[in-house]
Amino acid sequence: MKTLALYTVEAIDHLVQPADFDGTRLTSPALQVVTDFQHTEPNTISAGSKASAALQMMQQEHSRLKLVVDHQGELVGLLAIEQLSEQALMRQVAFGSPRNDITVADVMRPRERIKALAYQQLKHCTIADVVNTLQSSGEQHCVVIDRDNHQIRGVISAQDIARRLKLPLQISQAPTFLHIFDSISA
Protein backbone atom coordinates (compact mmCIF):
# COMPACT_ATOMS: atom_id res chain seq x y z
CA MET A 1 0.00 0.00 0.00
CA LYS A 2 1.32 3.47 -0.95
CA THR A 3 1.26 6.64 1.05
CA LEU A 4 0.67 9.66 -1.16
CA ALA A 5 2.33 13.02 -0.68
CA LEU A 6 0.10 15.86 0.53
CA TYR A 7 0.67 19.36 -0.81
CA THR A 8 -0.31 22.85 0.29
CA VAL A 9 -2.71 24.74 -1.97
CA GLU A 10 -0.65 27.72 -3.06
CA ALA A 11 -1.82 31.20 -4.00
CA ILE A 12 -0.90 30.58 -7.65
CA ASP A 13 -3.10 27.46 -7.89
CA HIS A 14 -6.16 28.40 -9.99
CA LEU A 15 -9.63 26.90 -9.52
CA VAL A 16 -10.68 25.56 -12.93
CA GLN A 17 -14.10 25.18 -14.48
CA PRO A 18 -15.16 22.88 -17.33
CA ALA A 19 -15.14 25.90 -19.66
CA ASP A 20 -11.39 26.22 -19.08
CA PHE A 21 -10.93 22.97 -21.00
CA ASP A 22 -13.58 23.67 -23.62
CA GLY A 23 -11.97 23.96 -27.02
CA THR A 24 -15.21 25.05 -28.66
CA ARG A 25 -14.72 27.27 -31.72
CA LEU A 26 -16.94 28.54 -34.52
CA THR A 27 -15.57 25.70 -36.65
CA SER A 28 -16.51 23.04 -34.06
CA PRO A 29 -19.39 20.65 -34.78
CA ALA A 30 -22.81 22.20 -34.18
CA LEU A 31 -23.89 19.31 -31.94
CA GLN A 32 -21.46 20.62 -29.28
CA VAL A 33 -23.86 23.50 -28.51
CA VAL A 34 -27.06 21.46 -28.40
CA THR A 35 -28.52 20.84 -24.96
CA ASP A 36 -29.42 17.26 -25.85
CA PHE A 37 -32.38 15.81 -23.97
CA GLN A 38 -30.95 12.34 -24.44
CA HIS A 39 -28.28 13.38 -21.90
CA THR A 40 -29.81 16.35 -20.05
CA GLU A 41 -33.20 16.66 -18.41
CA PRO A 42 -35.31 19.34 -20.17
CA ASN A 43 -35.79 22.51 -18.11
CA THR A 44 -39.60 22.63 -18.01
CA ILE A 45 -42.42 24.55 -16.37
CA SER A 46 -46.17 23.98 -16.39
CA ALA A 47 -48.24 26.24 -18.64
CA GLY A 48 -50.59 26.85 -15.71
CA SER A 49 -47.86 28.16 -13.39
CA LYS A 50 -48.24 31.75 -12.25
CA ALA A 51 -45.98 34.16 -14.12
CA SER A 52 -44.74 35.69 -10.86
CA ALA A 53 -43.72 32.25 -9.54
CA ALA A 54 -42.02 31.45 -12.86
CA LEU A 55 -39.98 34.66 -12.68
CA GLN A 56 -38.87 33.92 -9.13
CA MET A 57 -37.97 30.32 -10.04
CA MET A 58 -35.99 31.34 -13.12
CA GLN A 59 -34.08 34.00 -11.19
CA GLN A 60 -33.20 31.54 -8.42
CA GLU A 61 -32.07 28.92 -10.96
CA HIS A 62 -30.23 31.50 -13.10
CA SER A 63 -32.29 30.12 -15.96
CA ARG A 64 -33.10 32.22 -19.02
CA LEU A 65 -35.31 29.68 -20.82
CA LYS A 66 -37.89 27.08 -19.89
CA LEU A 67 -39.82 24.69 -22.05
CA VAL A 68 -43.50 25.06 -21.24
CA VAL A 69 -45.43 21.80 -20.95
CA ASP A 70 -49.05 20.84 -20.51
CA HIS A 71 -50.41 18.41 -17.90
CA GLN A 72 -49.30 15.48 -20.10
CA GLY A 73 -45.71 16.73 -20.33
CA GLU A 74 -45.99 17.75 -23.99
CA LEU A 75 -44.35 20.94 -25.24
CA VAL A 76 -46.81 23.82 -25.66
CA GLY A 77 -44.39 26.76 -25.72
CA LEU A 78 -41.12 28.41 -24.76
CA LEU A 79 -40.67 30.90 -21.94
CA ALA A 80 -37.72 33.28 -22.03
CA ILE A 81 -37.12 35.34 -18.90
CA GLU A 82 -37.65 38.53 -20.94
CA GLN A 83 -41.29 37.49 -21.36
CA LEU A 84 -41.70 37.89 -17.61
CA SER A 85 -40.47 41.49 -17.55
CA GLU A 86 -42.49 44.14 -15.78
CA GLN A 87 -43.40 45.64 -19.15
CA ALA A 88 -44.68 42.31 -20.48
CA LEU A 89 -46.77 41.71 -17.36
CA MET A 90 -48.19 45.24 -17.46
CA ARG A 91 -49.23 44.65 -21.09
CA GLN A 92 -51.27 41.65 -19.90
CA VAL A 93 -52.83 43.80 -17.17
CA ALA A 94 -53.71 46.41 -19.83
CA PHE A 95 -55.50 43.66 -21.76
CA GLY A 96 -57.64 42.98 -18.70
CA SER A 97 -55.84 40.20 -16.85
CA PRO A 98 -55.50 40.70 -13.09
CA ARG A 99 -51.76 40.67 -12.35
CA ASN A 100 -52.00 37.76 -9.89
CA ASP A 101 -53.87 35.64 -12.47
CA ILE A 102 -51.28 35.92 -15.25
CA THR A 103 -49.94 32.47 -16.09
CA VAL A 104 -46.97 31.22 -18.08
CA ALA A 105 -49.41 30.34 -20.90
CA ASP A 106 -50.38 34.02 -21.13
CA VAL A 107 -46.84 35.22 -21.84
CA MET A 108 -45.01 32.27 -23.45
CA ARG A 109 -44.19 31.84 -27.13
CA PRO A 110 -46.71 29.21 -28.28
CA ARG A 111 -45.57 26.00 -29.94
CA GLU A 112 -46.74 27.08 -33.39
CA ARG A 113 -44.35 30.08 -33.28
CA ILE A 114 -41.29 28.10 -32.10
CA LYS A 115 -38.51 27.65 -34.67
CA ALA A 116 -36.62 24.37 -34.87
CA LEU A 117 -33.46 22.95 -36.39
CA ALA A 118 -33.25 19.32 -37.46
CA TYR A 119 -30.88 17.10 -35.47
CA GLN A 120 -29.98 15.26 -38.68
CA GLN A 121 -28.98 18.54 -40.32
CA LEU A 122 -26.90 19.67 -37.32
CA LYS A 123 -24.75 16.53 -37.62
CA HIS A 124 -23.22 18.08 -40.74
CA CYS A 125 -22.93 21.73 -39.63
CA THR A 126 -20.58 23.90 -37.61
CA ILE A 127 -21.34 26.26 -34.76
CA ALA A 128 -20.76 29.13 -37.21
CA ASP A 129 -23.64 27.76 -39.33
CA VAL A 130 -25.90 27.77 -36.26
CA VAL A 131 -24.85 31.30 -35.27
CA ASN A 132 -25.49 32.55 -38.81
CA THR A 133 -28.94 30.92 -38.81
CA LEU A 134 -29.86 32.39 -35.42
CA GLN A 135 -28.67 35.85 -36.47
CA SER A 136 -30.45 35.81 -39.83
CA SER A 137 -33.70 34.60 -38.25
CA GLY A 138 -33.51 36.85 -35.18
CA GLU A 139 -33.97 33.85 -32.87
CA GLN A 140 -32.36 33.72 -29.42
CA HIS A 141 -33.45 30.10 -28.90
CA CYS A 142 -34.64 27.25 -31.04
CA VAL A 143 -35.49 23.65 -30.37
CA VAL A 144 -33.80 20.73 -32.05
CA ILE A 145 -36.07 18.11 -33.53
CA ASP A 146 -35.30 14.57 -34.58
CA ARG A 147 -37.40 14.44 -37.72
CA ASP A 148 -36.93 10.68 -38.18
CA ASN A 149 -38.32 9.82 -34.73
CA HIS A 150 -40.63 12.85 -34.31
CA GLN A 151 -38.95 13.89 -31.07
CA ILE A 152 -38.05 17.26 -29.63
CA ARG A 153 -34.45 16.30 -29.00
CA GLY A 154 -32.91 19.43 -27.52
CA VAL A 155 -32.54 23.18 -27.48
CA ILE A 156 -29.96 25.71 -28.67
CA SER A 157 -29.46 29.08 -27.00
CA ALA A 158 -27.53 31.98 -28.49
CA GLN A 159 -26.47 33.01 -24.99
CA ASP A 160 -25.07 29.53 -24.30
CA ILE A 161 -23.11 29.68 -27.54
CA ALA A 162 -21.71 33.11 -26.67
CA ARG A 163 -20.68 31.89 -23.22
CA ARG A 164 -18.98 28.77 -24.62
CA LEU A 165 -17.12 30.74 -27.31
CA LYS A 166 -16.35 33.61 -24.91
CA LEU A 167 -17.55 35.98 -27.63
CA PRO A 168 -20.28 38.61 -27.71
CA LEU A 169 -23.12 37.38 -29.89
CA GLN A 170 -25.78 39.82 -31.00
CA ILE A 171 -29.12 38.47 -32.16
CA SER A 172 -31.50 41.20 -33.31
CA GLN A 173 -35.15 40.48 -33.80
CA ALA A 174 -36.94 42.20 -36.64
CA PRO A 175 -39.07 44.94 -35.08
CA THR A 176 -42.75 44.18 -34.75
CA PHE A 177 -45.60 46.59 -34.18
CA LEU A 178 -45.65 45.51 -30.53
CA HIS A 179 -41.92 46.34 -30.10
CA ILE A 180 -42.44 49.75 -31.73
CA PHE A 181 -45.51 50.42 -29.55
CA ASP A 182 -43.58 49.45 -26.41
CA SER A 183 -40.68 51.77 -27.37
CA ILE A 184 -43.01 54.71 -27.93
CA SER A 185 -45.01 54.15 -24.75
CA ALA A 186 -41.90 53.64 -22.56
Q: How many domains does the chain have?
A: 1
Q: Which domain holds residue 47?
A: 26-173
Q: How confident is the model at residue 175 (pLDDT cuts 50, 70, 90)?
A: low
In a domain, 20, yes or no: no
Tell me if 8 is assigned to some domain.
Answer: no
Note whether residue 15 is domain-resident: no
Q: How far apart are CA 184 and CA 186, in angstroms?
A: 6
pLDDT (tens digit per residue) in 28-71 = 999 999 999 999 999 999 999 999 999 999 999 999 999 999 99
Q: Is residue 151 part of a domain?
A: yes
Residue 16 lies in a domain: no
The CATH number of whichever domain residue 141 belongs to comes to: 3.10.580.10
Report pTM: 0.80
Give the count of alpha carbons within 13 A of 174, CB side only: 3
18 domain-assigned: no
